[in-house]
Amino acid sequence: MKKTVIGITVVGKDREGIVAAFTNFVFENGGNIEKINQNVIKGLFGMYLEASFTKTVDVEKFDSGIQLLSKIEKMDVSTHHETNAEKNIAIMVTKEPLCLETILEASKKKTLNGIISIIIGTEKTLEPIAKKAKIPFVVLEETNQEKAEEKIIAICKKYEIDLIVLARYMKILSPNFVWRYPNRIINIHPSLLPAFPGALAYAQAYERGTKIVGVTSHYVTENLDQGPIIFQDSFKVDPNDTLEEIKAKGQKLEADTLLKAVKMHLENKLEVRWRKVHVKSK
């Protein structure tokens, strides 16, 4: 039986009755709750629920109705509809180019089932790469992370972003941001944590004589670098490798592993169940 699935995110000040208000809205509109997840951190409430409809549903009427409810409940609400159409992608970067270049190359070769709509940078270092690819580049030099995230949210709404890719984006995103894009933000990092945390992971690993270096692509949650793992890969370290050679190998692997995760997501092949990523069977 064909069904329509609508993802709903609710973010705002925590108080009683929020869960009931939105689940009742789904039921009243003929929907069934398939997934629900909620969190509260320091008075901030976040909820994601997936509603399915076996009967024809007027999506525009549903969206307008839930936005009316959001005003009544004083919550920030967004809906997401899975379709077979190409998804809009936002790439967030700092100054390392390889992950960005690898994704742009895949897009150029038309092996990416999505449209890179915007590139967001914390500085201007990678702007020339975006200009060469003829993709809009927005630099957010805002030092206040809360204000920066407000701008990013506005940009993502403007471009109707379906997927956010952190291509070595060196900022920590708050729950207020992450909860708005559940299982729709993909990150990459060296699999050296927690032994070698931070920006100098490769240098720390080199100093300790690490024999194997790995990378992890994962969905982003409010818990830093602990979201559901999508893919992992590794390479052996040659005793004669210099720090620069290890970093070069690691950055290449990061880019390839991130691209693999992004491609699988865009092809709707990934599903998160019980905090684990499963590859959907055909």
Q: What angle do CA 191, 197, 202 make, to 5 degrees?
A: 65
**Residues with Cβ within 8 Å of residue 82, at least 6 apart in sequence:** 5, 7, 268
Active site residue 63: no
Among residues 225, 233, 241, 256, the one annotated as catalytic is: 225
- Find out whether 87 and 163 touch, Cβ atoms under 8 Å: yes
Catalytic residue positions?
A: 225
